[in-house]
Amino acid sequence: MNHIESYPALTQSNLEYVIQEDPYHIKQKYVEKETTNLSNYQNYVLQAQSSKHWKEVEFEGFTLPAQAQAKAYCLKWVSWGCDNTKEHPKNKHYAEHEIKTCKVASCPKCFESWINRQANRSTRRFSKFVEKKQYNFRHIILSPPSNQVEKMSYNSMKKMLSIVLKIANIKTCAVVFHPFRFQDQRKSMPYFSPHFHLLAYGKVTNTTEFHNKTKFGTNNGWLIKNKGNMESEVDIFNCVRYLLSHCGVRKKTHAIRYLGDISYRKLKVEKEPFLHNCPYCELPLRIFRIKFDSKHEPPPIDHVGLWESDCFEAIDPHDPEAKIPFYQMKEEPENNRDYEEEMIYSFEELLRISLNLPKISDRYNELSMFDHVTGRKCQKITDF
């Protein structure tokens, strides 16, 4: 059996500690339970979508993830593509079908993709920061005194946290607020028990000293719990993903806050490149309608690659009535069509096409200056 100190921080919490009435006087115990073969992260994701109790909890506008309504287009397919067929092999259309997600934490369909995106971004941020550093980030839990939380607002907790961080000697960290803990092993029954998860860099004041120094007035002290170091990028990714799966979600409040040397102001991390260009002619992609009446068979719903060009029809974003064609698998396929189309208004997609159109026409102009493809290829050679 390992020592507690050497548990990976991967936060999976078959290591979650037992909920105790008075954590100040009872020695904390870690209990390992092999109740199910689902990882804890998956457990939370499952409950987010199925537990009716998750809907019932709320604290100052904070809810648990995935408890709002999905939009009409969530998790439907969009046909991105390029119709510059002259420059494609066999004069075919290039299509890159993609699943649309609204990227919102409260969406019951898209919250996992929100979690993964955020976890990716955090991992990039942390990895960049520790590149030439000696230590790793450490997962820490800070809990305000349990006999005080009923009276505290989120803002007062947040203010107190910043004082507590100074006492703990934590300057650089990411903070995730959890308004709730769970009564049962399945994580289906949340109850109000606010605390902060931190991924902190640097040395942390030892527990007893910290606890004594955070007794303000007649209050009990804050509890600090060290869940171990993040040894690798995978540890960080899994930890953030786990933390976000049941964090407090509120409009206009970041689910993860970065403080100190990893703040947005102090650490610039390059955005993930947004690649949405044709691999054959490099034109930006735009959205097409799939034609089911063409003499050719329509492409599969998840198609990426070349296809017969008469199966596609461009969407004009400047049409005042413009809507975007979204596609979804049918329950029962009929007449050779296993998916169906729905025209839905989506500002984001319309905007993306209108931003791409000028780039596309510039590029066409550029191309038309060279009558021969070989002429254009020569142009690409910058030094002789």
| Site for Zn ion, rule CB under 5 A | 70, 74, 82, 84, 102, 107, 109-110, 278, 280-281, 283
Give the nearest distance from C-beta 318 to Zn ion in angstroms.
22
Q: Identify which of residues 224 and 311 has a Cβ nearer to Zn ion in the complex.
A: 311
Contacting residues for 317 by C-beta, under 8 A, at least 6 apart: 350, 351, 353, 354, 357
Q: Identify which of residues 74 and 244 has a Cβ nearer to Zn ion in the complex.
A: 74
Q: Identify which of residues 105 and 236 has a Cβ nearer to Zn ion in the complex.
A: 105
Q: Identify which of residues 110 and 119 has a Cβ nearer to Zn ion in the complex.
A: 110
Give the nearest distance from C-beta 100 to Zn ion in angstroms.
8
Give the nearest distance from C-beta 173 to Zn ion in angstroms.
30
Please write down the HEC assignment for all residues of the chain: CCCHHHCCCCCCHHHCECCCCCCCCCCCCECCCCCCCCCHHHHHHHHHHHCCHHHHCCECCEECCCCCCCCCCCCCEEEEEECCHHHCHHHCEEEEEEECCCCCCCCCCCHHHHHHHHHHHHHHHHHHHHCCCCCCCEEEEEECCCCCHHHCCHHHHHHHHHHHHHHHCCCEEEEEEEEEEECCCCCCCEEEEEEEEEEEECCCCCHHHHHHHCCCCCCCCCEEEEEEECCCHHHHHHHHHHHHCCCCECCCCCCEEEEHHHCCCCCCCCCCCCCCECCCCCCECEEEEECCCCCCCCCCCCCEEEECHHHEEECCCCCCCCCEEEEEEEEEEECCEEEEEEEECCHHHHHHHHHHHHHHHHHHHHHHCCCCHHHHHHHHCCCC
Give residue number: closest CB to Zn ion: 278
Q: Identify which of residues 281 and 357 has a Cβ nearer to Zn ion in the complex.
A: 281
* CA pair distance 135, 173, nearest whole angstrom: 13
Q: Identify which of residues 70 and 189 has a Cβ nearer to Zn ion in the complex.
A: 70
Q: Identify which of residues 164 and 283 has a Cβ nearer to Zn ion in the complex.
A: 283
339's tokens: 């998916």
Give the nearest distance from C-beta 247 to Zn ion in angstroms.
17
Give the nearest distance from C-beta 316 to Zn ion in angstroms.
19
88's tokens: 């494609």
Give the nearest distance from C-beta 22 to Zn ion in angstroms.
41
Q: Identify which of residues 69 and 208 has a Cβ nearer to Zn ion in the complex.
A: 69
Give the nearest distance from C-beta 281 to Zn ion in angstroms.
4
Give the nearest distance from C-beta 188 to Zn ion in angstroms.
23
Give the nearest distance from C-beta 72 to Zn ion in angstroms.
10
Q: Identify which of residues 333 and 358 has a Cβ nearer to Zn ion in the complex.
A: 358
